[in-house]
Amino acid sequence: MSIEITGVNKRFGDFVALDNVNLSIPTGQLTALLGPSGGGKSTLLRIIAGLENADSGSVVIEGTEATNLPAQKRNVGFVFQHYAAFKHMSVAKNVAFGLEIRKRPKAEVKEKVEELLGLVHLSQFADRLPSQLSGGQRQRMALARALAIEPSVLLLDEPFGALDAKVRKELREWLRRLHDEVHVTTVFVTHDQEEALEVADEIVVINEGRIEQIGSPDTLYDAPSNDFVMSFLGPTTQLNGALVRPHDIEVFAHPVENGIPARIARELRVGFDVRLWVELLDAAHEEIQVTVTRATQRSLALAEGNDVWLVPTSA
Ligand SMILES: Nc1ncnc2c1ncn2[C@@H]1O[C@H](COP(=O)(O)OP(=O)(O)OP(=O)(O)O)[C@@H](O)[C@H]1O
């Protein structure tokens, strides 16, 4: 195990930010800490980094007891949402910084910086100033800088949080590929479930200072251990008293065995999907959401006012 967190508690005054957190993070894995704002993700990351002290409990990094080690002795690299670059230094100098203060030989620094800039696809920007980069390029520079010291652990706190949706998406795909190349143990804080599902090997869902569930993206999505995890990992709707995903409901245009009768009240096309609001034709006349593909909508000629029959497809 790369990071072992045992019995970590943290309060801010009366407020319990972390409540007896136990977590093992395997070496070489990309782990997402996912949860709603204020749930304690950043606090946990900062405790791993050594930027914050736990009130009790321990942190072991690569077999070394790190609980009382200062941040600079933990061999961790970090990147935050708003990255503080050295504004007057070139991109290459920013990346070299950690190596230069460690007094590495000049030739080694030069070689390493070139390699890192290649890795983050910024070779042609080596001589620019950080202000001459886009937001996404700046965060890639931040990653190169964090990786320069060859950290045993890379800690990322909402690294793409300040970027627009399109750049975020590009960078998360890029981060996944980068991780597949360098395999450095990485812990990534996000409140964006799609980001976690797309990027992480394993997701730790944190809410109100506690771990709700740990598992692979598929496990969390398909077998959430409670309603909180289920709702947090994607849209849900209530059907027959159970939470189901809107696209895990099959829609028929004719009566079927165990089909729940309903009527389409509204529909909205969102890209490939069509969202249907359907009114259940039982005593309560509850309205629920069902998502079908555009192809299904077309082949069944689903339209507002039509009667349909619903069958939940998930277990
Ligand atoms: N230095 C501090 N002093 C007082 N309260 C704090 C401090 N740092 C964090 N908190 C509180 O602890 C709770 C957890 O904060 P934390 O930043 O870990 O949450 P988070 O899950 O990372 O949320 P976000 O995504 O909004 O950053 C919050 O309610 C926050 O207000």
Instruction: List the CATH number of the domain containing 43.
Output: 3.40.50.300
Report the number of distinct structural domains present in the chain: 2
Ligand 1 atom index nearest CA of 189 = 22
Say whether both 35 and 64 belong to one domain: yes
C-alpha span between 208 and 9 (Å, rounded):
12
- Protein residue with least CA distance to atom 9, ligand 1: 43
User: What confidence score (pLDDT) does residue 315 get?
Assistant: 53
Say whether both 48 and 182 belong to one domain: yes
The residue whose CB lies within 8 Å of the most ligand 1 atoms, and thus the one to mutate among 19, 42, 44, is 42
- Protein residue with least CA distance to atom 3, ligand 1: 12
Say whether both 97 and 133 belong to one domain: yes
User: What confidence score (pLDDT) does residue 314 get?
Assistant: 66
Say whether both 171 and 57 belong to one domain: yes
Residue that terminates a domain, selected from 181, 203, 231: 231
Instruction: List the CATH number of the domain containing 254.
Output: 2.40.50.140
C-alpha span between 23 and 20 (Å, rounded):
10
User: What confidence score (pLDDT) does residue 187 get?
Assistant: 96
Say whether both 74 and 201 belong to one domain: yes
Say whether both 196 and 272 belong to one domain: no
Residue that terminates a domain, selected from 184, 199, 231: 231
- In angstroms, what is the span from residue 207 Cα to ligand 1's centroid? 12
Say whether both 69 and 203 belong to one domain: yes
Token match 């042609």: residue? 124
65-76 tens-digit pLDDT: 999 999 989 999
Pairing assessment for the beta strands 210-215 and 307-312 based on DSSP bridges: unpaired
User: Strand order of the sheet with strand 3-12?
Assistant: 15-25, 3-12, 56-61, 64-65
Say whether both 164 and 26 belong to one domain: yes
Q: Which of 199, 147, 141 is nearest to 168 (CA)?
A: 199
What is the mean pLDDT, run by run of 10 residues, along the chain of 315 residues?
A: 94 96 96 95 96 96 93 90 83 92 90 91 94 89 90 91 82 88 92 93 97 96 92 89 90 94 95 94 89 95 96 78
Token match 């090997």: residue? 201
What is the ipTM, given to two decimal places? Answer: 0.92
Q: Which token pair is 213?
A: 């569930």
Contact at 8 Å (CB) between 232 and 191? Answer: no
Say whether both 161 and 227 belong to one domain: yes
- In angstroms, what is the span from residue 40 Cα to ligand 1's centroid? 6
User: What confidence score (pLDDT) does residue 80 get?
Assistant: 83
Say whether both 150 and 266 belong to one domain: no
Q: Is the CB of 41 under 6 A from ligand 1?
A: yes
Domain of residue 246, residue span: 237-312
- Protein residue with least CA distance to atom 13, ligand 1: 38
223-264 tens-digit pLDDT: 999 999 999 998 899 888 888 999 999 999 999 999 999 999
- In angstroms, what is the span from residue 9 Cα to ligand 1's centroid? 14
User: What confidence score (pLDDT) does residue 164 get?
Assistant: 82
User: What confidence score (pLDDT) does residue 58 get?
Assistant: 97
- Rounded to 10 deg, the angle between the 135-148 and 106-119 helix axes is 140
